[in-house]
Structure 1
Amino acid sequence: MHKVFVGIGSNLGDKKSYCKRALAFLNILPQTKIKRCSSFYLTEPVKEKNQPWFLNLVVLLQTDLGYQQLFFWLKHIENILGRFPTWEKGPRIIDLDLLLYDDLIINSPNLIIPHPQFHKRGFVLAPLAEIAQEEIHPLLKQSFKQLWANHKFKEWVIRLK
């Protein structure tokens, strides 16, 4: 079984409902189980500030799916939930990001793992540090706890109960 971290986010419509529906779809993927799920985090948009705040979380999956198969399923779930193209960093009904897949380092035209820049994003680091403090970033060789502790706050990240 492969250890995979997936980021989930939404900033349009009923954000919590979209995130929960994405979780439900992840939970029924073939050969895949949700092992851990972070709290929800209310987060300020990073670049495009003139849009609603996001609701974010991170899940740890165990799967026998290959990374390309899993990536296909994530995009398929986004489509099922009604994601439509917007501008880069623009608003979205749902966003599913393949953050890490074991310790693989992949740089292909349509997929980069680890997800680029996630180590600079509070909306990913906070939930990762919550559910996987001691896991190590395969390129930076630092734990998520260390990365979160050293994160330079450029956006608001509020953990919800």
Structure 2
Amino acid sequence: MNVVANSGVLAFIALGSNMGDREKHLQSALQMLGEHPRIQVLRLSSIYETEPVGYLDQPAFLNAVAAVRTDMKAGELLGAMLDAELKLGRTRDIRFGPRTIDLDLLLFGSEVLTEPELIVPHPRMLERAFVLVPLLDVLEEAAVPGLEEPLSAYLDGLEGKEGVTRWNTGLTNN
């Protein structure tokens, strides 16, 4: 069991899968994150089925967002996420292509980071209804560091929201 102090950083991780047992892949990734001694899963969004974006010749995705608390630095959290992807068979053959699991660090506390391997807030999250819809499920505050408007305003301006439909009420971290 992990123990993360209340003083840790609140972060938000997007989960997506469109290969094999999509819901099981999401559940397995969430379980791996929750079993990490320095990550505590706090809240989970509903799962949404979404149409692919970018590379369209692939199955629909299941997407969700987890709110976590960690005492790690952003790069360390990203490393734990990449490790979970690797263990679940993630390959990077086609940009935006099919994948067993995709974990993206959306927000990391109030930090704004621009590093070669990590940009936070996630650089494309405001363009993706499949990220914003579940993120708004778990985000307690609508304001995001570095943004002028609340996330709901960005979602209101996006096209393609009709391609995001509720799959179920959420994952469990049991």
Report the TM range for the smaller structure's normalisation. over 0.9
What residue identity is the alignment partner of 1:31? R
Q: Flag structure 2 segments of 5+ consecutive residues without an equivalent.
A: 1-7, 169-174
Partner of 1:50: 57
Partner of 1:103: 110
Query: C-alpha distance in 2, partners of 1:157/1:68?
Result: 30
Residue 160 (structure 2) pairs with residue 153 (structure 1): yes
Offset at 1:94? 0.4
Partner of 1:2: 9
What residue identity is the alignment partner of 2:111? L
Secondary structure of 2:46's match? coil
**Contact 1:119–1:147 (8 Å) recurs in 2:** yes
Please report the TM-score for the alignment, with normalisation by the length of structure 2. Answer: 0.87
Which of 49, 70, 84 is the equivalent residue of 1:77? 84
Partner of 1:16: 23
Please report the TM-score for the alignment, with normalisation by the length of structure 1. Answer: 0.94
Partner of 1:122: 129
Partner of 1:34: 41
Query: C-alpha distance in 1, partners of 2:147/2:28?
Result: 32
Give me the CA root mean square deviation.
1.4
Stretch deviating more after TM superposition (14-23 or 105-114):
105-114
Offset at 1:139? 1.9
Give the ranges of 4+ consecutive aligned residues of structure 1 lying more than 6 Å apart after TM superposition.
none
1:58-83 Cα shifts (integer Å, max 9, x gaps): 00001111111101100000001111
Query: C-alpha distance in 2, partners of 1:143/1:26?
Result: 28
Q: Flag structure 1 segments of 5+ consecutive residues without an equivalent.
A: none
Stretch deviating more after TM superposition (27-36 or 141-150):
141-150
1:88-108 Cα shifts (integer Å, max 9, x gaps): 111101000011101111111
Which of 82, 92, 97 is the equivalent residue of 1:90? 97
1:29-79 Cα shifts (integer Å, max 9, x gaps): 122211110000000001111100100000000111111110110000000
% identical equivalent positions = 37
